[in-house]
Amino acid sequence: MSTNAATGAQIEPVIGLIGGSGLYDIEGLEDKEWRTVETPWGKPSDQLLFGRLDGVRCVFLPRHGRGHPLPPSRLNYRANIDALKRSGVTDIVSLSAVGSLKEELPPGHFVVIDQFIDRSFAREKSFFDTGCVAHVGMADPLCPRIGDVLEGQCRELGLDVTRGGTYLVMEGPQFSTRAESNLYRSWGCSVVGMTNMPEAKLAREAEICYATVAMVTDYDCWHDDHDSVTVDAVVKVMQQNASRARALVRSVIPKLGAKRGPCYAGCDRALEHAIITAPEKRDPALLKKLEAVAGRVLSRG
């Protein structure tokens, strides 16, 4: 059964999991198989791991590739999201290591974020281009339906969790200067990381519901009582976070996998009124590339 956002019919969700730093595999998947998925945007970060958890179809992608060969600026975000879309994914849970920008969000804390500030700049940020222009809404960039499930299951598992918070996306790969860290704090941001944009923008363009669990690994470099962030510190805390992240994944999948109608937040219909280019001005070559992510609306002409 596939998504039918247009008719409102029930769907059987397929859950996409994007594993960040320290999460390169998913335990407990049945019938698991790593498969190469080709896309018109180039290669995804790695093969995708297909399987089932409690009967729910899941597709896992290690964001930086197995063994972490890819830095944030070199990720092919478009290929990653297209590959998940053409694999049937309807809902994405992004699992990410982040630095904390608030005293009350210590290492080990999980944040189900609800906003982004995108300060990344060296990345392809849209599937659309000359020959097919689209402007999707990003006022609420994360799916609140998935967010509810993530928050609920964190609480059920007794994990320290905060619902809501702004994730500042920096380009990296260097960590922030102290002045930058304090600037982001003055903007009221909760956490800082390098990867969730343009991932979330592209998921919205592809009409995939997307939510993030930001797992705090460090206090970045602003905190007087804590050392500035290092990869060693991130990896150490991620190793502790990873078992909690795995428990969370195991408990959210059955909930997210239950048959449902269209997303009440409309993420799965984001392209409905977003494309502005007149049909006769559209570039056939670009339309072909857009088949997987935007075929639902483009096939109507």
CB of 171 to ligand ADE, least distance (A): 10
The reply on whether position 81 binds ligand LNRAV4D5 by CB under 6 A is no
Known catalytic membership, residue 31: no
Residue 88 to residue 16: CA distance in whole angstroms: 9
Min CB(3)–ligand LNRAV4D5 separation in Å: 26
By CB under 6 A, the residues from 90 to 119 that bind ligand LNRAV4D5 are: 96-97
> Distance between terminal CA atoms of the chain?
24
**Alpha-carbon span 290 to 173, nearest angstrom:** 30
- Is residue 96 part of an annotated ligand binding site? yes
Piece of 27-35, 142-150, 192-200, 269-277 that binds ligand LNRAV4D5 (CB under 6 A) = 192-200
Task: Name which of ligand ADE, ligand LNRAV4D5, none residue 147 binds, using a CB cut-off of 5 to 8 Å depending on partner kind.
Answer: none
Q: Is the dihedral of CA 108, 47, 200, 246 positive or negative?
A: negative
By CB under 6 A, residue 199 contacts ligand ADE: no
| Bridge partner list, 60 | 17, 49
Helices within 135-177 (DSSP H only): 144-156
Nearest CA among 177, 169, 161, 173 for reference residue 106: 161
CB of 247 to ligand ADE, least distance (A): 20
Do residues 131 and 249 make contact, with C-beta atoms less than 8 angstroms apart?
Answer: no
Q: What is the DSSP letter of 39?
A: B
Choice among 218, 225, 232, 268 that is catalytic = 218
Query: Which x/- pattern, by CB under 6 A, does the window 158-187 give for ligand ADE?
Result: -----------------x------------
Strands (E) in 130-262, as ranges, are 161-163, 166-169, 191-193, 209-218
Q: Measured from the CB of residue 52, what is the shortest distance to ligand ADE in angstroms?
A: 31
Q: Which of 194, 117, 110 is nearest to 157 (CA)?
A: 110
User: Which of ligand LNRAV4D5, ligand ADE, none interacts with 199 (beta carbon under 5 to 8 A by kind)?
Assistant: none
Candidate residues 75, 79, 234, 267; the one interacting with ligand ADE per rule CB under 6 A: 234
Query: Is there binding between residue 99 and ligand ADE (CB under 6 A)?
Result: yes
